[in-house]
Amino acid sequence: MTTKLRFATVWLAGCSGCHMSFLDLDEWLFELAEAVEIVYSPVASDIKVFPEGVDLCLVEGAVANADNLELALQLRARSKVVVSFGDCAVTANVPGLRNLWAEVEGGSRHSVLERGYVELADTGAQHPHAPGIVPELLERVLPLHEVIPVDHYLPGCPPSAERIRTFLEPLLRGELPAMEGPAMLGFG
Residue 51 lies near another protein (rule: CB under 8 A): no
E-state strands within the chain:
5-11, 36-40, 54-60, 63-65, 79-85, 137-142, 152-154
Least distance between another protein and beta carbon 24 (Å)? 17
| Interacting span for another protein (CB under 8 A) from 34-42, 72-80, 115-123, 180-188 | 180-188
For another protein, the binding residue among 60, 96, 109, 163 (CB under 8 A) is 96
Is residue 6 packed enough to be buried (19+ CB in 10 Å), middle (13-18) or exposed (0-12)? buried
In angstroms, give the least distance from the CB of 184 to another protein. Answer: 8
Shortest distance (Å) from residue 176 CB to another protein: 13
**Position among 41, 68, 93, 111 found at the interface with another protein (CB under 8 A):** 93
Give yes or no for residue 70 binding another protein (CB under 8 A).
no
CB 182: neighbour CB atoms within 10 A? 7
> Which of 38, 75 has the CB closer to another protein?
75
**103 touches another protein (CB under 8 A):** yes
Q: Is 182 in the site for another protein (CB under 8 A)?
A: yes
Residue 55's contacts (CB-CB under 8 Å, 6 or more residues apart) are 5, 6, 7, 79, 80, 81
The C-alpha angle 117, 122, 128, rounded to 5 degrees, equals: 25
Buried b (16+ CB within 10 A) or exposed e, 50-62: beeebbbbbbbbb
- Closest to another protein by CB, 38 or 141: 141
164 binds another protein (CB under 8 A): no
Start-to-end C-alpha separation, the chain: 42
Is 124 exposed, middle or buried, given 0-12, 13-18 or 19+ CB atoms closer than 10 A? Answer: exposed
**Interface with another protein by CB under 8 A: which range of 23-31, 53-61, 64-72, 149-157?**
149-157
Q: List binders of another protein among 107-146 (CB under 8 A).
A: 143, 145-146
Residue 177 lies near another protein (rule: CB under 8 A): no
Residues that bind another protein (CB under 8 A): 84, 87, 90-94, 96-97, 99-100, 102-103, 143, 145-146, 150, 153-155, 157, 179-182, 185-188
